[in-house]
A and B are shown apart, each in its own frame.
Chain A
């Protein structure tokens, strides 16, 4: 389901990445999320978030630093 929302802990399990890395990507605007009113919990659209993480991984493999990846997304439409 495209609209399925997951927590950051679930995203850690699904992606195999560190919690702190996902939190950092969220803070710098690399990872799309929705924030529910109650308790301000952040939820991630599972498929979009995993696609974005895969995209980031491949950009890193091409030699881009995180800062360059942020600029890459800022330059074009953000998914």
Chain B
């Protein structure tokens, strides 16, 4: 069986939108969408299609045609809008539901088309029709198995696998899929990656910083929402 390669954002969405693994608290749609938008930006940063300039603002590093719709929309937004910091971009995705929903649909539509996710209809408070995306067990397991096979065994780690594990760590999703022992091993391995694969990981510091900024925005949004 062959599987089309998924983007970082698609893999993150498959793992983050799984309601089964969120026993205590289901992820709010706005958080999930904003993290997914952040994943699109992080992937573009890691591919060096986008960079953070000397003033700390996000800009296109090279004009390249991308085949992924969500990445194409993100590049279009970067070109059309005033340059701003990554933190500001994340804040704008969080506050502008129209943009983040459009990005999210572009991320999930291919997943629904390929059968990796299904779209379920439900009613909010038994009154208002709504829909949610549910990942299939196979699609989730395959990603988790890949993370185990790469990060918890010896050998080099693919860039996307490491970025995904970093995102899971930052968004506190590691414990949903890995035991405490495995989670600690993952964390330790991620910390060692810079030394092990220094050449391929030149931009990891910048990406880690980008993820920290993404996470900081989401944490402050959560605090504001709870007061």
Contacts and interface: CB of A to CB of B under 8 A. Distances in A.
A66 B146 contact: yes
Interface in A39-77: 57, 60-61, 63-67
Interface residues of B, number: 15
B149 A21 contact: yes
Contacts of A64: 155-156
Interface in B152-174: 152-158
B153 A17 contact: yes
B150 A65 contact: yes
B155 A27 contact: no
Contact of A20 (B149, B156, B157, B158): B149
B158 A67 contact: yes
B74 interface: no
A66 B145 contact: no
B148 to A, nearest CB: 5
Given A18-B148, A24-B148, A63 B142 contact: no
Contacts of B1: 27
* Chain A at the B interface: SS class: helix
A23 B155 contact: no
Nearest to B150: A66
B149 A66 contact: yes
Interface in B75-95: none
Contacts of A17: 153
Contacts of A21: 145, 148-149, 152-153
A17 B153 CA distance: 8
Contacts of B146: 24, 66
Across the A-B interface, the 10 shortest Cβ-Cβ residue pairs: A60-B155, A24-B145, A21-B149, A20-B148, A24-B149, A20-B145, A65-B158, A65-B156, A63-B156, A67-B158
10 contacts: A17-B153, A18-B149, A18-B152, A20-B144, A24-B142, A57-B154, A60-B154, A61-B155, A65-B150, A65-B158
